[in-house]
Structure 1
Amino acid sequence: MNPETKSALLSGFGALTHLELWAAKFDSVSDLLQLVCSKPLLQVLSFDNLGWEDPNFDIPKEPSDSVSDTLHSLRLSNCYKRDILDWLASHGSVPPIHHLHLGSVFPEDTHSIGRFLHILGSHLQTLQLEFSSLDAGGDAEDFCSRVDLAYNTALHTIILDKFINYSVYQFSSAIAWIPELVSQIANLKEVSFGIAIRDVEELFPEDDPIDWTALDNTFCHPRFPHLRALRFWVSGNVELDEAAGAIASNLPRSNRRRMLRFHRGMPRLVQ
């Protein structure tokens, strides 16, 4: 980025409330953070497919070099999450972020995620993420061991992308980590799951069996007195009604409680 363009981006758009950056590379994370801090009215911030050569950054010294205290929604996908979250956590006061979208989580980021969520505390209301490795020592195990959602007392909605992802990657995260993760959320009201399948039989993979009974028992447990909706977002070459029928038959207790909701498309927050 040439100096003229950089200066224009920093000095202009002072009234910007939504900033989305996609497929960009910065010389350092400091350059990225300087851009973010130059928008004092920022409410929504989204990063996707970003990179930087130099991971080091200077902690801002002046109040004017801090992120907007109106920031309430943050999305971090395909970037070095730990750099961004460590910077936010280094402030005396973390922005009151209500909605956090982490994309795919990796073990090297989980310490920073856990620390940030602890500091964020009761501000957080919705959390969206996905796991890409369920092996021992992989994404899900590290996340569950290093992140304690019990500090996020206002958290009421969790969105799990790629819960069953057989249409492309022959992969499912619908195993024991999910009950362990949600068991930390005392005021859970809603859970959304992303399901991408080509055929309804992929809901019952022989090589990676899904314990539907354990899931059903988890969501009907007395520890979740406020849970009202389990949403399944279905994509891939399968009829929504066919997938809905198969899932409902395997979650009979949840079905009897009228908790199940089915949608076409990718998981997202329902207002």
Structure 2
Amino acid sequence: MLLAGFQALTHLEIWAAQFDSVSHLVQLVCSKPLLQILSLDDLGWEDPSFETPGPPVPRALHSLRLSQCYKRDILDWLASYDSLPPLHHIQLGSVYPEDTHSIGRFLKRLGPDLSTLQLEFSSLDAGGDAEDFCAHVDLAHNVDLHTIILDKFISSAYQFSSAVGWIPQLLSQTPGITEVSFGVAIRDIRDLHPQEDPIDWGALDRLFCHPRFTQLQTLHFWISGIINLESVSSVITRCLPGSNQRRLLRFHRGTPRIVEQVE
């Protein structure tokens, strides 16, 4: 009934479910031929294998959100097709080292189709998530990527920051970028200048003011947590004087997100 019904469905969100195999999930997704937006959150399965070739993937699929699931299995399944759907918007949630090879291969296959990418790192230490991502993912293949959203760019809860330079390294691959959004979740204004692993604001400012980044129009900072918005914006503005001079900086209350639209 679930496979045969809802044939006109364009937006499918599957949350908190366990499948015997990823193939069962694939069958459900592919049973909706008009699907445009797919969101998978808090899923699991015992068997990661899938049939090749699998059932036809919905050709109108343009937005994909993966959170708390085996991202490598989903991306490897999609990459197994000779022709990919035109996925323009991808949300990866928190990135883990074991998924980065598959992410790199998949984004390379997408090439110019990708226009918006959202992700977050739970470790920016040497050998952590960000280092693995930068080692295995080359965004230079995504020449039409215009928006990057970095959730938890600075987070008091996880006690990490952009200190070690992985964020500048990642963004340096995307000179055609027009918009970058950063999530800032802090409890105290001093978290913008942590004593351990201080944030290299200077490297970020030099990057955003580099002549290669002539298309960059806006740097959004989304502020959450029990902190005054004006206080945070004042400090970050002083940390990024060149970006401020270019009138790139925008400050908002809340968390960054992709606004998904069914066409």
Structure 1 and Structure 2 fold alike (TM over 0.5): yes
Alignment CA distance shift 1:183-1:46 (3 Å): same
Equivalence for 1:9: 2
Runs of 4+ in 1 over 3 A off after TM superposition: none
Contact kept, 8 Å, 1:131 with 1:173, in 2: the verdict is no
Unaligned runs of 5+ in 1: 1-7
**Counterpart Cα distance in 2 of 1:10 and 1:138:** 40
Given residue 17 of structure 1, which amino acid in structure 2 is its aligned partner?
T
Q: 2:167 aligns with which of 178, 202, 223?
A: 178
Equivalence for 2:69: 79
Query: Deviations along 1:211-258, whole A, 9 cap, x unmatched?
Result: 111111111111111001000000000011111011001101101111
Q: 1:23 aligns with which of 12, 16, 19?
A: 16
Equivalence for 2:152: 162
**Counterpart Cα distance in 1 of 2:194 and 2:56:** 49
Give the deviation of 1:270 after TM superposition: 6.5
Give the deviation of 1:174 after TM superposition: 4.6
Contact kept, 8 Å, 1:122 with 1:155, in 2: the verdict is yes
Contact kept, 8 Å, 2:122 with 2:158, in 1: the verdict is no
SS in 1 for 2:125: coil
SS in 2 for 1:10: coil
Contact kept, 8 Å, 1:196 with 1:235, in 2: the verdict is yes
Instruction: Please give the TM-score of this superposition, normalised by the length of structure 1.
Output: 0.93
Given residue 211 of structure 1, which amino acid in structure 2 is its aligned partner?
D
Give the deviation of 1:171 after TM superposition: 2.0
Q: Does 1:232 align with 2:232?
A: no
Given residue 81 of structure 2, which amino acid in structure 1 is its aligned partner?
H
Q: Does 1:267 align with 2:260?
A: no
**Counterpart Cα distance in 2 of 1:270 and 1:257:** 26
Given residue 184 of structure 2, which amino acid in structure 1 is its aligned partner?
I
Identity %: 68
Query: Deviations along 1:93-140, whole A, 9 cap, x unmatched?
Result: 111000000111111111110110111011000100011112222211
Equivalence for 1:215: 204
Cα RMSD for the two superposed structures? 1.2
Q: Does 1:253 align with 2:253?
A: no
Q: Does 1:68 align with 2:74?
A: no
Given residue 81 of structure 1, which amino acid in structure 2 is its aligned partner?
K
**Counterpart Cα distance in 1 of 2:235 and 2:162:** 18
Contact kept, 8 Å, 1:163 with 1:174, in 2: the verdict is no
SS in 2 for 1:86: helix
Q: How many matched pairs? A: 260
SS in 1 for 2:111: helix
Give the deviation of 1:59 after TM superposition: 2.0
**Counterpart Cα distance in 2 of 1:85 and 1:266:** 26
Given residue 184 of structure 1, which amino acid in structure 2 is its aligned partner?
Q
Give the deviation of 1:199 after TM superposition: 1.4
SS in 1 for 2:232: helix
SS in 2 for 1:223: helix
Give the deviation of 1:170 after TM superposition: 1.8
Equivalence for 1:37: 30
Q: 1:199 aligns with which of 188, 205, 225?
A: 188
Given residue 225 of structure 1, which amino acid in structure 2 is its aligned partner?
T
Instruction: Please give the TM-score of this superposition, normalised by the length of structure 2.
Output: 0.96
Equivalence for 1:5: none
Equivalence for 2:139: 149
Give the deviation of 1:209 after TM superposition: 0.5
| Worse overlay, 230-239 or 205-214 | 205-214
**Counterpart Cα distance in 1 of 2:15 and 2:103:** 21
Unaligned runs of 5+ in 2: none
**Counterpart Cα distance in 1 of 2:84 and 2:239:** 42
SS in 1 for 2:190: helix
Relative contact order, higher structure (CA 8 A, sep 6+): 2
Alignment CA distance shift 1:48-1:129 (3 Å): same
Give the deviation of 1:175 after TM superposition: 3.5
